[in-house]
Amino acid sequence: MNERIGVTILGSTGSIGVSTLDVLRRHADRFRVVALTAHRDVEGLFQQCLSCEPDYAVMADADAAEQLRDRLWVAGRPVEVLAGPGGLERVAALPEAAYVMAAIVGAAGLLPTLAAAQAGKRVLLANKEALVMAGPLFMAAVRAHGAELLPIDSEHNAVFQCLPPDFAAQNLEAGGVRRILLTGSGGPFRTTPLEQLPDVTPDQACAHPNWRMGRKISVDSATMMNKGLEVIEAHWLFAAPPERIEVVIHPQSLIHSMVEYEDGSVLAQLGNPDMRTPIAHALAWPHRLASGVAFLDFTRLGPLEFQAPDYARFPCLRLAFSALDAGGTAPAILNAANEAAVQAFLDQRIRYTEIATVVERTLERVPPHGVNTLATIFADDAQARAVAGEWIAARPSEG
């Protein structure tokens, strides 16, 4: 029997990480877990260490790492526990792990994901920020170190499956591609009257009609900032000019994205809304393996709807296209302001409709720079968070 492929999961206690472990368990003869990481979820990572027996576990938070180390020692499990950004980057580059699932949410995932690319891994990319914040630097690292980059977002994975098999060796035009069509459900407020949006609650925003996700990503889906970040990600993944990327609202979430060709053909990837499908695809590529996802019954699907996005309802999507057009660190500024605004909304410090306001005001005040170094990216990220925080703090109380 062939030696099992080692896998590191960055962000193993999140929804993508949990789904990845489910797929790996179904194919324990092919894969083994080398390292697992989490932010502060000691209990979640402890239970995963008991069931998956990794060689390494990393907590981004140092106090949480100490708690995990103590619990594993009491349980008699020989897992090496690391802490902080250095620990994350170390396990991302371990020689015994050929595959790295990059599923840490937010800017915190950039450096370990970059470390995996620089180590020449097969990077299963679920962290948008690696490309949103540092697209040119990240793609250069992938090329320079011979890494394999396979998208995990359902939309980008769908596009990847619909592109020509030799796409990596050519551009869109050479492949006869006219447009990339990214689908989005429209989230929980797709039909909510606009005048009611200022009063929606965090719980309502996190109640996605089709997908089960973390709270930050759920809010991004509601505002369609998630789709805007995916537009920026698609630009770098597929070398696609912004004018060749379009967003289509598809409430059923069964068509995950489409590629339109110059001859009029449109290839679409369909499946139930379950992240185990793209995860299994990337783990097995260029082959296929069972994911555990239920198969579609086309006789029971019902009608499939498609709509153009309304920028009055989804201003964050417009802002993302604008940031992509501006170039440089503008997408990093957009992302940082959005992270600050979403957290403020989840903490009930601002209204739902003020998320876009925070992002727009921050883009107006923080000038973008060229993406030449990580230091420049992080400096503009920090400035954007500070400016967004000032606006949030100065917001008049409604008490």
| 279 belongs to a structural domain | no
Per-residue pLDDT, 212: 63
**Bridge partners of residue 101, in order along the sequence:** 9, 124
User: What percent of the chain is modeled with pLDDT above 70?
Assistant: 96
| 385 belongs to a structural domain | yes
Quote the number of domains for the chain: 3
162 and 111 assigned to the same domain: no
159 and 308 assigned to the same domain: yes
158 and 141 assigned to the same domain: no
What does the pLDDT average to over 304-308? Answer: 95
240 Cβ contact list (under 8 Å, min separation 6): 172, 180, 234
Per-residue pLDDT, 216: 87
pLDDT digits 0-9 by tens, 213-243: 678 889 999 999 999 999 999 999 999 999 9
pLDDT at 1 over 60: no
Per-residue pLDDT, 209: 66
Average pLDDT, the chain: 94
46 and 96 assigned to the same domain: yes
| 284 belongs to a structural domain | no
308 and 177 assigned to the same domain: yes
pLDDT digits 0-9 by tens, 158-211: 999 999 887 766 788 888 999 999 999 999 999 999 999 999 999 999 986 665
pLDDT at 399 over 60: no
Per-residue pLDDT, 395: 81
52 and 75 assigned to the same domain: yes
30 and 127 assigned to the same domain: yes
pLDDT digits 0-9 by tens, 138-149: 999 999 999 999
Q: Considering 133, 151, 169, which residue would you say is the last residue of a domain?
A: 151
308 and 182 assigned to the same domain: yes
| 320 belongs to a structural domain | no
User: What percent of the chain is modeled with pLDDT above 90?
Assistant: 87
Decide: 132 and 139 in contact? Cβ < 8 Å: no
227 and 210 assigned to the same domain: yes
Helix-strand-coil split of the chain, %, nearest 5: 50, 15, 35
Q: What domain range is 74 assigned to?
A: 5-151
| 229 belongs to a structural domain | yes
Per-residue pLDDT, 173: 85
Count CA atoms within 13 Å of residue 155 on its CB side: 28
In 1-128, which ranges are continuous DSSP H helix? 15-26, 42-52, 62-75, 84-92, 110-118
Which three-class secondary structure state does DSSP give residue 85?
helix
Look up the pTM and report it.
0.91
230-264 burial: b if 16+ Cβ within 10 Å, else e: bbbbbbbbbebeeebbbbbbbbbbbbbbbbbbeee
14 and 96 assigned to the same domain: yes
Q: Considering 255, 281, 315, which residue would you say is the last residue of a domain?
A: 315
Looking up residue 24, the CATH number of its domain turns out to be 3.40.50.720
Looking at per-residue confidence, does 1 or 3 come out higher? 3
Per-residue pLDDT, 333: 97
Helix axes 315-326, 225-237, angle to 10 degrees: 30
pLDDT digits 0-9 by tens, 33-92: 999 999 999 999 999 999 999 999 999 999 999 999 999 999 999 999 999 999 999 999
180 Cβ contact list (under 8 Å, min separation 6): 159, 172, 234, 238, 240, 244, 245, 246, 257, 258, 259, 260
